[in-house]
Amino acid sequence: MISNSPRYGHPTGKRLLLLALSLIFTATLVFSKSLPGKRSALAQDQTKIAVSSSLVLLPVNVTDSRGAFVAGLKQEDFHVLEDGQPQNLTVFDERDTPVTVGLIVDHSRSMGAKLAGVSAAITSFAHSSNPQDQMFVVDFNDDVSVELMKGKAFSSDPKELEEALNAVSARGRTALYDAVSEGLLHLKYSHLEKKALIIISDGGDNASHLKYSQVLAQARQSQAVIYSIALLGSDNEEENPNLLKRLCKDTGGIAFFPAQGESVATVSAAIARDLRQQYMLGYPPQNVNRTDAFRKVEVRVTVPGQGRLRVRTRPGYSPAPEKQQAAQSEPGT
């Protein structure tokens, strides 16, 4: 277990351990690609999606008037605008590609009676996911802990994920913003392009050192989609469902609020299905010189005879710092 207290920053040694694990995993991938024979489906997916680090990648959900996923759409059915300007799609994929998912689990005192359902949700989600997904657990209360599962930065084993979930008992206050920030940082260790966070909490925050605006800026640079399962219904004053709604809406995800008696596992399975039923679009932004502002993105789908379709994706993004520096260092910029 890595226990990072936001008050004192992130220990260098622990960061180096995660980096070493990431490098080892990357080296293994490079070695496996050098072997003769047919490449794995995962490697093929990565070749198609990870075309260039300068690409803007958009996971897009398209549903009909009944809320059902619309499959079989073609690239020419999609039209992407960035700040009102049409963009040229260079990546289009409708397959169930692997995703890196961070499970951000509230272990504050207010969640004590709710953690039994959380364990079931984590197990259900793992069983509903792509076998090639990479998952990790971030436990939080006053402090934030990224759990290493048997020394691994990621896992798809439901048992390992459940053990990571139970590594911390319910106590203390709620540092939700700091936990989301830590989850976004950990996503960087994955080689997969498709990334998401799932927050399981009552939504309160009374212990973070970061503010909402700081976490949102970080999320916009990472291009991760954020979902949440809000476990409400107690008399605790810390519950704040609007906070979770904002986090999800601002990143293209969904906030779920299980009704009385509704299984949390059913909701987690719905999130897994939502991640599976996506189109992946990618384009190189035309205005590479504009590096200091949020870029608004709009995706439109036009299919004759389909009626009105609902399109959900992230509302925009901010260029990551490394991409800003690269653009500024190009000749003529």
Distances (CA, A) of 154 to 106, 161, 189: 19, 9, 9
Question: What burial class does residue 244 get, using C-beta atoms within 10 Å of its C-beta: 0-12 exposed, 13-18 middle, 19+ buried?
Answer: buried
pLDDT exceeding 70 applies to what percent of the chain?
77
Beta bridge partners of 230: 201
**206 or 16, which is more confident:** 206
pLDDT for residue 98? 93
pLDDT in tens, 254-280: 999 988 778 788 888 899 999 999 999
Quote the Cα angle for 26-288-53, to 5°.
10
pLDDT in tens, 280-295: 999 999 877 766 689 9
pLDDT for residue 233? 66
CA dihedral (120, 273, 251, 188) positive or negative: positive
Q: Say how far apart CA 327 and CA 333 lie, in whole Å.
A: 7
C-beta separation of 115 from 163 below 8 A: no
Quote the Cα angle for 227-251-226, to 5°.
20
pLDDT for residue 290? 66
Residues in the chain: 333
Q: Say how far apart CA 48 and CA 260 lie, in whole Å.
A: 43
pLDDT in tens, 144-154: 999 988 889 99
Quote the Cα angle for 301-313-254, to 5°.
130
Q: Say how far apart CA 104 and CA 135 lie, in whole Å.
A: 11
Least confident of 34-38, 90-94, 98-102: 34-38
pLDDT for residue 266? 86
Q: Say how far apart CA 198 and CA 216 lie, in whole Å.
A: 15
How many Cβ atoms are within 10 Å of 223's Cβ, its own excluded?
Answer: 21
Q: Say how far apart CA 273 and CA 129 lie, in whole Å.
A: 8
Q: Say how far apart CA 95 and CA 277 lie, in whole Å.
A: 8
| Domains of the chain, first to last | 2-23+97-276 (3.40.50.410), 51-95+279-329 (no CATH)
User: Which tokens is 295 given?
Assistant: 């870029």
Is residue 73's pLDDT more than 90? yes
pTM listed for this prediction:
0.80
**81 or 119, which is more confident:** 81
Average pLDDT over the chain reads: 80
pLDDT for residue 23? 43
Q: Say how far apart CA 180 and CA 186 lie, in whole Å.
A: 10
